[in-house]
Structure 1
Amino acid sequence: MSSALLAKPQMRGLLASRLKKHIVIAFMFSFGCAALYKFGVAEPRKRAYAEFYKNYDPMKTFEAMREAGIFQSAPPKGS
């Protein structure tokens, strides 16, 4: 009587049936993580770099470092 109450276990195709579900879940999870990284990290970083280099003057920075005495091969002006 008790054996009639229990459902028979799936003996064939168990891995294939579970893989279908788990592959879809893994794909959605990885796509979500990639989207979060793109819009949460990469895009703000791109905007920050663009904003920084919009008004960046490398010669002005070089002259400031030169006057501070950072470079050995380029002594400060007047030396």
Structure 2
Amino acid sequence: MPELRQRLSELQASATTADRVRAALHECLPAGESSINAVAGQLMLSPRTLQRQLQAENTSYQAVLSDTRENLAAAT
């Protein structure tokens, strides 16, 4: 897990919000947590701010979550 936290820290400097959400989900999903509240808290944002930032990137939390789940399933 420490390497995931380091990767998340590195991404936060230059990554899109969607990239940051994906990185947070890679850490949260194995523990069974996928709520926007959990991910927003990990990114130190309110859920509404997270939604607005994703909307500005023409995506949504649900779209990023679905994509991340599909990628993880394909990788296993």
Verify same fold: TM over 0.5: no
